[in-house]
Amino acid sequence: NTSENPERALALYDLITNDEEAFRALLKKLFTEPPAFREAHEVLSVLRKKWRVGLLTNADNDVLLSSVRRQGFALDFICSSEDLQANKPQKIFFERAASRYALDSQRTLMVGDSLTEDILPAEDRGWHAVLAARGYPKRPRGICIIENLRELYGVLSWAGDDLPNAGADEKK
């Protein structure tokens, strides 16, 4: 724990700032190791029966693809900032993603964990948007917020499809 050992923190800082390879390895570890929400596999599997499900991210391809493979996600498309040569929240990122994957703004739902990088730019594009705000300190008005990805079933009921009940018990 580096917060309890400042000397260790300084040594790590020196290591990663003076060794590009170590720095890249640390970044890759930081971005590939965080687990997805517990219910993510189940929800994505259910949603993919009726809709295309993709990932739009600022991660570079080597980090991104490693994480997706490690976590075993099945997606219809993966779109990175590296692929699009732009980053969220830039307008061009969303425009290029929409063009590349034929995303109809009336039928596109962005689910993201960042109000400024995901939700607001998606809404500016005319997409529907949901903030996955597990532990999010602020609750902005006018933004659809969920705590658990299973709540998407209720959010998507506007599409007229039968989806599992959002209140279903979590698998242990």
The whole model's pTM is what? Answer: 0.73
CA distance 147 to 5: 34
What pLDDT shows up at residue 2?
44
* C-alpha dist (Å) from residue 17 to 24, 63, 77, 136: 10, 19, 34, 31
Average pLDDT over the chain reads: 80
**Residue recorded with tokens 């689910």:** 111
Mind listing the pLDDT tens digit for each residue in 77-134? 999 999 999 999 999 999 999 999 999 998 899 999 889 999 999 999 999 999 998 7
Query: CA 24 to CA 7: how far, in whole Å?
Result: 22
Of 126, 129, 163, the closest CA to residue 146 belongs to: 129
pLDDT at 163: 45
CA dist., res. 31 & res. 63, Å (int): 7
- CB proximity list for 77: less than 8 A, separation 6 or greater: 52, 54, 55, 101
Question: What are phi and psi for residue 54, nearest 5 degrees?
Answer: -130, 175
What pLDDT sits at residue 100?
A: 97
pLDDT over 50 (residue 172): no
Residue 166: the pLDDT is 38
Contact at 8 Å (CB) between 99 and 111? no
The residue type found at 133 is A
* Whole-angstrom distance, CA of residue 148 vs CA of residue 142: 19
Give the C-alpha separation, 88 to 92, whole Å: 9
Tens-digit pLDDT profile for residues 41-65 = 999 999 999 999 999 998 888 878 8
CB contact at 8 A, 100 and 106: no
Q: Which amino acid is at 120?
A: L
